Amino acid sequence: SVLTRLQTIGKGFGDKKTIKTDDVHAAAEETKAAAGKSKNTLSSVGWGDRLRYVVENKTAEDGNYPFYLLTYVTTLTLLAFGLVWWYASNRYDGYVYGQENYADAFFAGMQLIVSQGYVDEIPDKYGLRWFYWLMIFFGVVIFAVLVGFIT
């Protein structure tokens, strides 16, 4: 049994020490209490670790999963970019493409992410230029990730 094996640990190594029965019982209870927990019980498993675990397992199941995930993240970010562009451009008094309706704002964001086009008519008001740059940068990152997946 486990109890017998734990009691004989250390025998045959010169000093013939045995472990006290109370220590063995305490070790057995601790082992039972730790069953099912992570090996490092001093740290908890966070949401980031769980997310990486899920993505790793899904990728092992389906080799196309990273592409699906990239499409999902890009679509959600594109919708958010369109909404923020529409909101920020409506605060400006002059005309900025995409302020009339959400579909134009969505198209402007999609065009920037796909082509990284440059327009010098973007006003320096309400963070529009910075947001314009952020959309271009996101497009470059998405393209780099896609190339990384392919190669």
> Distance between CA atoms of 58 and 72, rounded to whole angstroms?
14
Residue 106 has which token pair? 């969505």
pLDDT-flagged residues of the chain (< 70): 1-24, 34-43, 92-95, 97-99, 116-127
Domains of the chain, CATH where assigned: 2-34 (no CATH), 47-150 (1.10.287)
Percent of the chain with pLDDT over 70: 62
Return all residues near 113 (Cβ < 8 A) that are at least 6 apart: 74, 78, 81, 135, 136, 138, 139, 142
- What pLDDT is recorded for position 50? 86
pLDDT digits (tens, 9 = 90+) for 33-74: 766 665 555 567 788 888 888 888 998 888 888 889 988 988
Tell me how crowded residue 94 is: count the other CB atoms within 10 A of its CB: 9
In Å, what is the CA distance from 80 to each residue of 24, 106, 116? 59, 9, 18
